[in-house]
């Protein structure tokens, strides 16, 4: 059970929503838009796109995989039973706040060995994942194991995970606009087995 807040619950929720919103405005201002733009040619040139993240970051990468599929890209989520082997001409898009998650680093090593391109989305430019990547997109957010209150007052890696969704959705929005397909055309790729 929660302790009774010292302020009304709706006021506490309003403060929490404002906190999250303000942190995203700060994150947006800290983004390097050249790094963000540099991801698009990699997405567009890829034969197939493999997306990977762990935990809540993984859920954000699954959302990006679905959206890219709606745009007509051949996408796979690493770890699913129907995901094929990665190879030359493919792209691994990996999201890891720390850039040191063992399974993601190992996947990046395999992707490189097989001739695929690796794009890393991370908070840590000095990480193993960033070192392996052909392109790095740095997200100015706190890592989950380093509570940096100056960057985020949210729990653990929440700001990074939320930012993954925002930046991948921004990439997808630009790709959609550039592709010139209507929402009705994309809708045909939505699952009809739900």
Residues with catalytic roles? 161
Q: What integer pLDDT is reported at residue 164 of this predicted model?
A: 96
- CA-CA distances (angstroms) from residue 38 to 8, 120, 189? 46, 12, 27
Please state, in angstroms and rounded to a whole number, the distance separating the CA atoms of residues 71 and 67: 7
Q: Which residues pair with 120 in a beta bridge?
A: 94, 136
* Close Cβ partners of 165 (under 8 Å, ≥ 6 residues apart): 60, 63, 64
Q: What integer pLDDT is reported at residue 123 of this predicted model?
A: 94
CA dihedral 117, 135, 64, 154 (to 10 degrees): 140
Name the H helices within 31-54.
33-45
Q: What integer pLDDT is reported at residue 186 of this predicted model?
A: 76
Q: What integer pLDDT is reported at residue 9 of this predicted model?
A: 87
Q: What integer pLDDT is reported at residue 194 of this predicted model?
A: 72
CATH architecture of 29-177: 3-Layer(aba) Sandwich (3.40)
Q: What integer pLDDT is reported at residue 5 of this predicted model?
A: 61
Which stretches of the chain score pLDDT less than 70?
Answer: 1-2, 4-5, 142-150
**Can you list the positions of beta strands (E) in 46-147?**
49-52, 75-77, 91-95, 117-122, 135-138
Q: What integer pLDDT is reported at residue 145 of this predicted model?
A: 54
Longest distance between any two alpha carbons in the chain, whole Å: 58
């Amino acid at each position: 059970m929660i302790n009774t807040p010292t302020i009304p619950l709706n006021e506490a929720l309003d403060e929490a929503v404002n906190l999250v919103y303000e942190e995203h405005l700060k994150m947006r201002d800290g983004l390097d838009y050249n790094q963000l733009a540099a991801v698009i040619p990699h997405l567009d040139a890829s034969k197939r796109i493999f997306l990977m993240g762990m935990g809540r970051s993984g859920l954000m990468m699954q959302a990006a995989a679905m959206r890219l599929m709606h745009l007509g890209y051949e996408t796979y989520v690493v770890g699913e039973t129907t995901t094929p082997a990665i190879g030359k001409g493919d792209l691994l898009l990996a999201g890891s706040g720390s850039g040191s998650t063992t399974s993601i680093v190992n996947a990046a090593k395999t992707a490189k060995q097989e001739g695929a391109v690796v794009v890393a989305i991370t908070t840590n430019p000095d990480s193993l994942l960033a070192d392996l990547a052909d392109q790095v997109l740095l997200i100015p957010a706190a890592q989950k194991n380093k509570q940096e209150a100056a960057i985020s007052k949210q729990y653990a890696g929440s700001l990074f995970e939320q930012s993954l969704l925002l930046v991948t959705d921004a990439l997808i929005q630009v790709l959609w606009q550039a592709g010139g397909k209507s929402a009705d055309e994309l809708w045909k790729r939505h699952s009809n087995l739900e």
